[in-house]
Amino acid sequence: MTREDIKNWKLVEVISNIEIIADDSDAYFESLAKKLDIPLINHTSTDRENTQINWSKLIGYHRFFLDGEGEEEENKSAFRKSILSRKENLILLYGYKEPAVLVPTNIFIEDWEDFMASSQWEIIIFSEDLKLMMEVSRDYNLHSNFKIK
C-alpha cells in the first residue's frame, strides 16, 4: 500500500506525517497479539461494548468514557499528562482493509478525537515500543493498560 492508496479522511489530512507500517491492520494486529501474548476475545457479537482484547486478563487495566459532551479538551489534557506523551510515536490500527500507520504522538494527542472518529470509534493503538496499548470500543470507552484519566 502506498500513501496514494489511503482513503481515510484523517490519514489523508496528516499523510505527510505518517508512515505505513503494514497494509492490513487486522493481519498486523493478529501477529502482534501472538508475539506479545495478548489475550483476545473470540466473538462475533455486534455488542457495542465488546473489544478484541480481553482487558480483564491484563494487569493495569483502565477504562474511561471517551466521548462525554464538552470533554474534548479534558481528554487531550489527560493524554498529555499520561505516560503516553513520553512516547515518540504510536501505531494506529485502523481495522478492516485499512493500513497500520505510525503517527507522531504529539499529532495524535492534538487531534485525538478526529483520529478516533475517522476509525468510526473502533481502533487499537500501541506505542511504538509496544509497551502501551489502547482500544476504543463502539460504546465510546477507551480501554488501556496504563492510566490516562
Cα dihedral 65, 104, 117, 62, rounded to 10, equals: -20
From 30, 11, 36, select the one nearest 131 (Cα to Cα).
Answer: 36
Judged against a pLDDT cut of 70, whether residue 48 lies above it is answered with no
Taking the mean position of all CA atoms in its chain, how far away is CA 103?
Answer: 11
Considering the entire predicted model, what is its pTM? 0.92
pLDDT tens digit string along 116-141?
Answer: 999 998 899 999 999 999 999 888 99
User: Half-sphere exposure (CA, 13 Å, Cβ side) for 61?
Assistant: 12
What percentage of the chain carries pLDDT values higher than 90? Answer: 74
Query: Average pLDDT for residues 19-43, to the nearest whole number?
Result: 93
Collapsing DSSP states into helix, strand and coil, what is residue 141? strand
Q: Read off the pLDDT of residues 84-100 as tens digits, 9 standing for 90 and up.
A: 999 999 999 987 788 99
